[in-house]
Structure 1
């Protein structure tokens, strides 16, 4: 999230102040992409109550709803929490918290399943502009440092190719679905030397008057290491994309370099 207003952050803090809503976020953190029934049943919560709390979380941009056919799946959106961490925690107490987190991680057993990753951002642009930014090789090279190359037809191969002159390809995949300018689904294979099923990335472009809501869902993650990597990677890439479309230029420094500098 770039340039979050004080009013928007007030809404986030008010949403987090309620213990029931924090419990719902915990449920989605444990198992992302749940229907309303799946959220309610283990908590013994009435559907009406859960709906009211989820609506507050959606308005605060802490939860996003993705339609799959007739189902409405609820996903935890880490954007606002990432903003809180960067603004109020990272610069003050990150070294000590990192040590405590490492101790906590060693004391707990990891779940066998890795939750899906969902990120939502709002961009002042048209759906066609966002689609072109996602699929045009020259534009992706500007804000991503890699050119995404494909004809973007279902079944076609796509490549995430470096633009440093080496021509190296760091990610490959196939186009599963392509519905310009609103929906693109691709496989994502970033470990070319390993034999494992690829993860899947879905870009959902939803226009509303002069803005677009872009939802990126990264599913079928093989391990926590990859999830940790994309949790810092996607916000950086999408911040640069947002800056390019809204201002005509990318951010002054590559945002992913900031994550590396503060690691």
Structure 2
């Protein structure tokens, strides 16, 4: 990593810490974690502060990429983006320690009764490459193991209505169908997890890849995983994989080199 990359990385980390420093902004993130996709009016109604104050806090959170927003009809909805927080955690928590840290946090939440449910996941990341470059790798089955969680391979019929499978060896762990295919900006597919009997019992959910070209050689990538039908085993388990997938995809597109990671466990171990 060059000196310029270090400067950019630490500046981004400073923005995350600054955004998290204010208790009202942490409360806004908690509210979005509990129920993602809220409007400004909905968020403001939950806090004893002015609408302007909530707008200001949301602007800071968006600048730190902790919150992303999307216009749906006349409404602007806000979503929690956990990628920067995961990146901060990854800096000091080794992959070998991560499962134990997760287990300890989960136990603490169960004992204290503070577990929150957010059955809609939205991730946002910026890539220093064109939308076409991201799309080319995203839709190339040969490149899938270079960025996917667990180094999964894929087999896809690239048309609307076509089948898509993600595999570990000869075993299909995720199966789906392409719902939308609009190169180089939008890919929507169903997502039926099959790595364990628990998730296989869930109905298929939905994954949406949105890629927006920005001025210069850069684009904004937003991944939305939703339509779980409630708090399901799938909605609880996919959070661990997407931040890694997006980080590896970004590295691959920007450098042409895969970011090699050894998985901590297999999906069958859940």
Count of residues paired in the alignment: 253
Distance in 2 (alpha carbons) for counterparts of 1:174 and 1:129: 23
CA separation of 1:29 and 1:85: change in aligned 2, threshold 3 A:
same
Equivalent in the alignment of 1:157 = 163
Residues 50-199 of structure 1: pairs in structure 2 closer than 5 A: 50-88=54-92, 95=100, 98-99=103-104, 101-108=106-113, 114-144=118-148, 145-153=152-160, 155-162=161-168, 164=169, 166=170, 168-191=171-194, 194-199=200-205
SS in 2 for 1:176: strand
Distance in 2 (alpha carbons) for counterparts of 1:25 and 1:181: 31
Distance in 2 (alpha carbons) for counterparts of 1:37 and 1:133: 39
Offset of residue 109 of structure 1: 6.9
Residue of structure 1 aligned with 2:258, choices 250, 258, 261:
250
Offset of residue 259 of structure 1: 7.2
TM-score by length of 1: 0.83
Distance in 2 (alpha carbons) for counterparts of 1:170 and 1:20: 40
Distance in 1 (alpha carbons) for counterparts of 2:72 and 2:188: 13
After the TM superposition, which of the residue ranges 136-145 and 235-244 deviates more from structure 2? 136-145
Offset of residue 34 of structure 1: 1.0
Offset of residue 62 of structure 1: 0.7
SS in 1 for 2:46: helix
TM-score by length of 2: 0.81
Offset of residue 188 of structure 1: 0.2
SS in 2 for 1:5: helix
**Structure 2: runs of 5 or more not aligned:** none
* Residue 33 of structure 2 is aligned to residue 26 of structure 1: no
**Structure 1: runs of 5 or more not aligned:** none
Residue of structure 1 aligned with 2:217, choices 210, 216, 221:
210
Equivalent in the alignment of 2:234 = 226
Distance in 1 (alpha carbons) for counterparts of 2:121 and 2:224: 6
SS in 1 for 2:38: coil
Stretches (4+) displaced over 6 A: none
